[in-house]
């Protein structure tokens, strides 16, 4: 896969200003009621996860179909700390999730990044399925297929009272992640990743250690997915292997990224919003969500392979 | 013990048929067909609809063949109608297209056959049971294993001894040169898809009396077929055979001996093979018999 667009410079100052109204809308979302707040919270968390997936897909050209592993790692780290140690403070849970996700991503990454293309994809499926099967069966530790319930969470000793309050924590986390990823991917590190993606051979001639860079990308990717998973567990108050660790969840992250556009930095977030709202609308209307979802993916792949943002940015450049 | 071996072999036979379809398609088109489990599920549902007409054993025995044929035709329609559009754009898009089809099929099945599990063991009762070393085994289960073995032999014959097989192998080896020799490669692709989807649908039809079908089985079957595909070597039919028997027996014995980690072991094998030998146990890139 070659995306010959530069993911970094495609957004200039003028478009940065365009984001200000969007930020204001996000801040005012709770005015729309609890359900809208809940949905937007989900979209933001999935947005972080899809964005982290795109560190691999968009910047290194590696398709992970097991990204729920790190999302689930974050979620289960938080869940198990609550279940076994009765720790409910977000300021402890989320950093711990970051640590476990980084360790897991490092271990899994060492194995995975030596492979590319379909072998990489297969390996990510296999490893995530292994953990999925374990989470299912190790009932005393993980709660089996019932999963884990989290009844209350605290921030610096204060109990989180409402969805709205938690929504603002998510919003803060979201912008922090966005900001960090932006800096990471704009750095020489991000540019090197793109160089490797576009021509491994040329990058190698330039003296770049390809494996090391891919591993670093893998860890960055796992880290942010872990944050998203951890916050997701606390936001929902309920996790299960099928919800946070399954290959279906991994596939959804891929679909969001594809939908929004893997060639655009902001694409996966757009994808996650469209995905989350569309799913809510169609499911609530008792229509066939999977049919719509499937047709959507097929049409995107055939007609707009660079996704919504890819198409928008292309039109902006040409017209 | 004997019943576990038989159960393992049933599972292995089914896995072999499904995974061989997957491996042939990969060998020729270089596409991992994520919708392959859906063709399997389609086979069970179609066989179910066919067997509604009568309880005649002949109809029940013929049902898997008809189901396989229908699945094959749907497969051709999918390949010619949709998949063809993304050839040359890279394997990522081909993979994602077949991934999207999983969901399209899922809801179509739900519309046509409802959300409840379906099963029909009529033929198992009609054929009766036989005693194998003191263990009672349904005769149908023996038939299922034999017919899979016959089909495996037929496939080997088709691919290694006939002209059609030669063209298929040539296309797998180098599609450009093959087309330069006057072979219509598009037709080979379509034929391959028919064959692959026929095998999946046929396997599904065979399983109607044994396990039946439910929505969600498509993804379960896909994952297991992927395990076989990887362990056996992508594109190798011999590899698919060995890996299916391996995975089939491990699952059958694992379920009774160590149920807690039975699936985990299967995935662990897949991971180890991918790390140690990414090309699989019998890793050739081309379709081999």
Burial of B221 (0-12, 13-18, 19+ CB in 10 A): buried
What is the chain A residue with the closest CA to B95?
A118
- Indicate whether B51 pLDDT > 80: yes
pLDDT of residue A6: 52
When CB atoms are compared, the residue of A127, A251, A290 closest to B271 is: A127
Residue B112 resides in a domain = yes
How far apart, in whole angstroms, are the C-alpha atoms of residue A295 and residue A304? 13
Phi/psi at A160 (5° precision): -70, 120
Q: How confident is the model at residue B285 (pLDDT cuts 50, 70, 90)?
A: very low
pLDDT of residue A316: 77
Q: How confident is the model at residue A2 (pLDDT cuts 50, 70, 90)?
A: very low
Residues in contact with A24: Cβ distance below 8 Å, sequence separation at least 6, in sequence order? none
List A158's β-bridge partners, or say none: A155
CB contact under 8 A, B223 and A125: yes
How far apart, in whole angstroms, are the C-alpha atoms of residue A94 and residue A91? 6
Phi/psi at A159 (5° precision): -75, 130
CB A182 within 8 A of CB A146: no
CB contact under 8 A, B275 and A111: yes
Chain B residues with CB-CB distance to A305 below 8 A? 86, 89, 93
Query: Three-class SS string for A127-151?
Result: HHHHHHHHHHHCHHHHCHHHCEECC
In tens, the pLDDT along A5-45 reads 455 444 555 566 777 878 787 877 777 788 888 999 999 99
Phi-psi region of A138 (alpha: psi -120 to 50; beta: other; left: phi over 0): beta
Mean pLDDT of A235-263: 89
Residue B173 resides in a domain = yes
pLDDT of residue A15: 62
Q: How far is A61 from chain B (nearest CA, A)?
A: 9
Q: What is the mean pLDDT of chain A?
A: 85
Residue B284 resides in a domain = no
Q: How confident is the model at residue B287 (pLDDT cuts 50, 70, 90)?
A: very low
When CB atoms are compared, the residue of B82, B97, B274 closest to A126 is: B274
Parent domain of B164: 13-216
In tens, the pLDDT along A131-143 reads 998 888 887 888 7
In tens, the pLDDT along A161-205 reads 788 888 998 999 999 998 898 888 888 888 888 888 887 778 778
pLDDT of residue A253: 93
Tokens read off for B263: 């699936």
In tens, the pLDDT along B174-201 reads 777 777 777 777 888 888 899 999 999 9
Chain A residues whose C-beta sits inside 8 Å of any chain B C-beta: 1-2, 63, 111, 115, 117-119, 121-123, 125-127, 129-130, 133-134, 136-138, 247-248, 251, 254-255, 258, 288-291, 293-298, 301-302, 305
CB contact under 8 A, A247 and B226: no
Mean pLDDT of B260-279: 80
Residue B90 resides in a domain = yes
- Indicate whether A207 pLDDT > 90: no
- Indicate whether B284 pLDDT > 60: no
CB contact under 8 A, A122 and B274: yes
> The tokens 């108050």 sit on which residue?
A237
A contact test, residue of B227, B274, B277, B283 with most A CBs within 10 A:
B274
Domain total of chain B? 1
The pairing of beta strand A158-159 with beta strand A154-155: antiparallel
Burial of A6 (0-12, 13-18, 19+ CB in 10 A): exposed
Residue B18 resides in a domain = yes
Q: How confident is the model at residue B35 (pLDDT cuts 50, 70, 90)?
A: very high
Q: How far is A290 from chain B (nearest CA, A)?
A: 5
Mean pLDDT of A252-281: 89
CB A71 within 8 A of CB A232: yes
When CB atoms are compared, the residue of B104, B223, B278 closest to A298 is: B104
pLDDT of residue A117: 80
Residue B232 resides in a domain = no
The pTM of this model reads 0.86
pLDDT of residue B286: 41
Q: What is the DSSP letter of A187?
A: S
Residue B226 resides in a domain = no
Mean pLDDT of A289-318: 84
Residue B86 resides in a domain = yes
Predicted-complex ipTM score = 0.84
């Amino acid at each position: 896969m070659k995306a010959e667009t530069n993911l970094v410079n495609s957004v200039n100052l003028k478009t940065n200003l365009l984001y200000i109204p969007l930020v204001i809308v996000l801040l005012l979302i709770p005015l729309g009621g609890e359900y809208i707040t809940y949905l937007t919270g989900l979209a933001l968390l999935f947005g972080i996860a899809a964005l982290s997936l795109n560190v691999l897909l968009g910047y290194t050209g590696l398709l992970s179909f097991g990204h729920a592993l790190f999302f689930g790692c974050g979620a289960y780290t938080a869940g198990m700390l609550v279940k076994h140690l009765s720790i409910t403070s977000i300021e402890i849970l989320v950093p711990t999730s970051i640590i476990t996700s980084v360790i897991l991503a490092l271990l899994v990454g060492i194995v995975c990044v030596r492979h590319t293309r379909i072998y990489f994809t297969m390996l990510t499926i296999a490893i995530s399925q292994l953990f999925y099967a374990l989470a299912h069966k190790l009932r005393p530790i993980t709660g089996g297929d019932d999963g884990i319930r989290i009844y209350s969470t605290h921030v610096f000793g204060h109990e989180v009272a409402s969805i709205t309050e938690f929504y603002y924590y998510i919003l803060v986390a979201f912008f922090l992640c966005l900001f960090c990823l932006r800096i990471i991917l704009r750095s020489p590190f991000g540019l090197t990743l793109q160089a490797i993606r576009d021509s491994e051979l040329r990058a190698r001639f330039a003296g770049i250690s390809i494996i090391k860079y891919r591993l670093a990308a893998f860890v960055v990717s796992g880290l942010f997915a872990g944050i998203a998973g951890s916050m997701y567990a606390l936001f929902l108050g309920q996790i299960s292997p099928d919800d946070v660790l399954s290959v279906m969840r991994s596939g959804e992250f891929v679909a969001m990224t594809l939908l929004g556009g893997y060639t655009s930095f902001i694409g996966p977030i757009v994808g996650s919003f469209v995905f989350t709202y569309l799913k809510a609308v169609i499911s609530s209307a008792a229509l066939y969500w999977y049919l719509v979802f499937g047709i959507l993916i097929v049409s995107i792949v055939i007609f707009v392979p660079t996704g919504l943002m890819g198409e928008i940015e292309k039109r902006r450049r040409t017209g | 013990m004997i019943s576990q071996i038989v159960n393992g072999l049933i599972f292995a036979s089914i896995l072999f048929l499904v995974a061989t379809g997957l491996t042939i398609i990969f060998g020729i088109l270089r596409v991992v067909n994520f919708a392959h489990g859906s063709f399997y599920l389609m086979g069970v549902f179609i066989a179910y609809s066919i067997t509604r007409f009568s309880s005649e054993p002949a109809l029940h025995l013929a049902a898997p063949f008809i189901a396989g044929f229908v699945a094959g035709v749907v497969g051709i329609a999918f390949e010619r109608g949709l998949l063809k559009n993304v050839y040359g754009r890279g394997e990522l898009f081909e993979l994602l297209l077949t991934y999207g089809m999983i969901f399209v099929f899922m809801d179509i099945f739900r519309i046509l056959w409802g959300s409840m599990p379906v099963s029909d063991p009529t033929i198992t009762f009609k054929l009766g049971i036989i005693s194998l070393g003191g263990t009672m085994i349904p005769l149908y289960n023996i038939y299922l294993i034999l017919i899979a073995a016959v089909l495996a032999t037929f496939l080997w014959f088709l691919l290694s001894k006939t002209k059609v097989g030669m063209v298929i192998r040539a296309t797998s080896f180098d599609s450009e040169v093959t087309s330069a020799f006057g072979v219509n490669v598009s037709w080979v692709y379509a034929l391959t898809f028919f064959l692959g989807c026929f095998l999946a649908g046929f396997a599904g039809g065979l399983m109607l009396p044994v396990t039946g079908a439910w929505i969600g089985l498509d993804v379960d079957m896909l994952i297991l077929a992927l395990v076989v595909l990887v362990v056996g070597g992508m594109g190798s039919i011999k590899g698919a055979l060995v890996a299916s028997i391996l995975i089939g027996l491990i699952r059958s014995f694992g379920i009774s001996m160590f149920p807690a980690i039975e699936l985990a072991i299967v995935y662990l094998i897949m991971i180890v093979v991918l790390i140690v030998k990414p090309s699989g146990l019998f890793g050739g890139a081309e379709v081999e018999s």
